[in-house]
Amino acid sequence: MRVLGIEGTAWAASAAVFDVEADDVFIESDPYQPESGGIHPREAAEHMGDAIPRVVDTALAHARARGGIDAVAFSRGPGLGPCLRIVGTAARALAGALDVPLVGVNHMVAHLEIGRHQSGFDSPVCLNASGANAHLLGYHNGRYRVLGETMDTGVGNAIDKFTRHVGWSHPGGPKVERAAEDGEYVDLPYVVKGMDFSFSGIMSAAKDAYDDGVDVEDVCCGLQETVFAMLAEVAERALSLTGTDELVLGGGVGQNARLREMLREMCEARGASFYAPDPRFLRDNAGMIAVLGAKMYAAGDTLAIPESAVDSNFRPDQVPVSWRSGEESVARKPSETGTVRGAEATVTTAGDLVTKRRLPKEYRHPELDERLRRERTVAEARLLSEARRAGVPTPLVHDVDLPEATLTLQYVGEVDLAGALSTEATRLVGEYLATLHDAGIVHGDPTTRNVRVGERAGESVFFVDFGLGFHTGHVEDHAMDLHVFGQSVEGTAETPEPLFDACLSGYLDSGGAAAEAVVDRLRTVEGRGRYQ
């Protein structure tokens, strides 16, 4: 079986042929290169209109020499509407002329699937790091669930904003990578919220540093070290939440050697497997469209022409994953014995005490790592006590060792909430989040792994790990707490809707008018993500 794929979501006009039996991919691409600045949608569409016929002709000639094609697959979205429409029209015309089925592929799911296909992994977490997107996906209950995402802009676009500011042409990522090799680390804002993250603050700070006379090589070094450390950290958080030990990388920013090095070091340290596809499959390409198209075609997932409209906001979690029906979820049963390794710390239990040590992260720059470990240890010790005084059950803090970033805590609960989900427990989570927010405290990472349940110590629900917490009364930050908890439930629970509904019900019943404003903002946050 051979499938011809066509890609053209933004800048890369590309066509490919995937020969399933030979497991061979032929790719012909003609990328758009703006003379200055970033991608201009009109110019990109003009390039698509000119280049798509050429690359398709080349791919088609390759296929005909090997016996023809059995289906046509195309990137249906997400992407720039004018470009997508050109690709969609070409795919429909070709499928009609050859009288073969048409397959519509989600571009972001294709980034994930090419890595899964080549690695042979069963059910990995995928970090997609591309121009317009940055998110973590995992397969669960028939779809790819968004475990974490950027709250403002894609990672490639964020870097391009800085490079345009300093006068460099598109694409900016390779130029930053080269400049960073000659730079010294510069401290820049680091923003992680559970498994979500934000790039707007670091980009503004990088521009300001450059304008203030800091060497551009130093700013580039700080930019890379900070942005990629954020991505590596949230990827590790996703591995910890789900319990899987497989990570694949997708997206054009994945070509950056420093990012791949960080992810590899992170995975090696926690005994996980890491795979990054060949660079030709990381940047936008039709090869990944053809490979996923073949899987969808084999599963009978094809489109009638009237149903084949493109969708510039086509989210990965909207895609029914027909080709993986019945396969294992990314979510695994959490371990509760011995020394448990979380995303940033080991937790060792001895009787009624727990020793929690924030581990040095070899993938992070030493200055950044030391700062984060110290700040988070201080924040956790302080906020655990403040939350308890506000009426939220938390473990008592027995000792703090700042040089070792270690806390000695009371053992609470019997199991993580991830291992004992119920509407009663998630309703209590909502009630206690409302209590925290009323006291001006944000937990920062209220996932199902950072809530303990059980009657030990006289309570049924305990909040732990306030390392990402802080003080604020802002409705946006309170809404993000709910968003983080909702994502963790969505990505791991068999029936997430009633569980999160119970959380919101408990929050609204306990928080009054202020809680209503937070839930209203939550709906805005949910629609803001750039994972579409």
Residue type at position 262: M
| Token duo for residue 159 | 């870097």
Side-chain-side CA neighbours of 197 within 13 Å: the count stands at 32
Q: Looking at 397-506, which runs of residues are DSSP E strands? A: 397-401, 406-410, 415-416, 441-442, 451-453, 461-463, 470-471
| Token duo for residue 124 | 């990995």
Distance between CA atoms of 380 and 395, rounded to whole angstroms? 11
> 321-338: string of b/e by CB count within 10 Å (b at 16+)?
bebbeeeebbbeebeeee
Residue 445 catalytic? yes
Pairing of strands 134-140, 125-129: antiparallel
Pairing of strands 273-275, 246-250: parallel
The dihedrals phi and psi of 313, each to the nearest 5 degrees, come to -115, 35
Note whether 407 and 400 are within 8 A (CB): yes
Terminal Cα-to-Cα distance of the chain (whole angstroms) = 30
Q: Which helix (H) or strand (E) holds 25?
A: strand 24-31
3-class secondary structure per residue, 369-394: HHHHHHHHHHHHHHHHHHHHHHCCCC
Residue type at position 172: G
Active-site position among 416, 445, 465, 477: 445
Distance between CA atoms of 34 and 54, rounded to whole angstroms? 19
Q: Three-class SS of residue 125?
A: strand
What residues have CB less than 8 Å from 376, skipping those under 6 apart? 344, 358, 405, 467, 468
Note whether 287 and 130 are within 8 A (CB): no
Please name which of 215, 289, 387 lies closest in space to residue 59, comparing C-alpha atoms. Answer: 289
Residues serving a catalytic function are 445
